[in-house]
Amino acid sequence: MVTDFRSYHAAVLEPAIGPVVLTGPNGAGKTNLLEAVSMLSPGRGLRRAKLSEMVRNGAERWAIAAQAETTSGPCAIGTGLSIENGMERRVARIDGQTVGPAALGGLIPVSWLTPQMDRLFLDGASARRRFVDRLIFGFDPGHATRANAYEKAMRDRLRLLKDGRSDDAWLTALEAQMAEQGVAIAAARRAWSLRISGALRQTRGAFPAAEIALDGLAETALATRPAVEVEEELTRRWRDGRGLDRHAGRTAEGPHRTDLRVRHVARDMAAEQCSTGEQKALLISLILADARMQQAERGVVPVLLLDEVAAHLDADRRNALFDEIAVLGGQAWLTGTDRALFAGLEDRAQYFGIDGSAVTPA
């Protein structure tokens, strides 16, 4: 159920496990519903929008609620915008109890692909880091908390440096906190990369096999050195780099600079050198491999949000994607303007028509 979210005053959907197809004209509100589902997980959702940008025109707050089937049984979850003393913040609830939004990560992992992600391999490293970290949330809900703690300590350190305050003890404490959280972040990324690499080697059929590697100081060091040594190296680099970081206005080194490298195995070609179609196929391979891995290791299939994905695939790859979704057995939300694109899902999916932010079972 969504209330005052984006273009929706109120809407209720009751989807079953399995594929959910939303069809309707451009601007009808299909992506808004996918964004609402994405907000039932940690982070800023598939658009990375500000909380206030999600409020329907004329409303003050938005809210999203759902009944979720988890490994521990059914539960009620929700999230929304709260305004207290003029300050906006996001709140979350599980079975009526208020929790931090990061706690949602331990219930229903959510993964997504949007048209804006088609340039993932061509744009800067920050988008690829977010992609990796988003997938890790499905395995390790604490990853979001560590990432937030690392970012906060890094911002506080930079603020001290910019203010010209030479409080060595405070800076040292912040750098120690960054190192502790940063190495934990890097270790989680490294563990994820090793696991998903095994799942990627099992890729068959229409989607290409991929090889991945993490290009980061801490992730590389953890391959051969104990975590405590990597922490010590990071703190030394940040201590020695204070002057440069003050001048540049940013922290030059650390897990916030890590990049994801992806290679098309059959073509022996870096993803950024592949065609647009092959890059899309590689992205789908990564999403599907992660879903297979979570199913094998945790018995949980992530909720997949696939915005306009069918329109950019040929018939063979569309049908291969539909078959993979059916085999996974989880819930996948797909959007498109033309229902004919989803012919390969007939009798295997629920269909809803979306027009003017009104939802009609089809």
- Tell me: the pLDDT tens digits for 146-167? 999 999 999 999 999 998 877 8
Measure the CA–CA gap between 281 and 59, rounded to whole angstroms.
40
- Provide the pLDDT for residue 69: 86
- In the structure, what pLDDT confidence band is assigned to residue 312 with cuts at 50, 70 and 90? confident
Q: Is the pLDDT of residue 36 over 80?
A: yes
Q: Is the pLDDT of residue 202 over 80?
A: yes
**DSSP-assigned beta bridge partners for residue 168:** none
Alpha helices in 201-302 (DSSP H): 217-221, 227-240, 242-248, 276-298
pTM of the predicted structure, to 2 decimals: 0.92
Task: Give the chain's mean pLDDT.
Answer: 93
- Provide the pLDDT for residue 43: 87
- Provide the pLDDT for residue 39: 96
Q: How many CB atoms lie within 10 A of CB 280?
A: 22
Q: Domains (ranges, CATH) in the chain?
A: 120-275 (1.20.1050.90)
Q: How many CB atoms lie within 10 A of CB 230?
A: 22
Tell me: the pLDDT tens digits for 269-302?
999 999 999 999 999 999 999 999 999 988 889 9
Phi, then psi, of 200 in degrees rounded to 5: -65, -30
Three-class HEC string of 147-212: HHHHHHHHHHHHHHHHHCCCCHHHHHHHHHHHHHHHHHHHHHHHHHHHHHHHHHCCCCCCCCCEEE
Q: Is the pLDDT of residue 106 over 80?
A: no
- Provide the pLDDT for residue 72: 81
- Provide the pLDDT for residue 139: 78
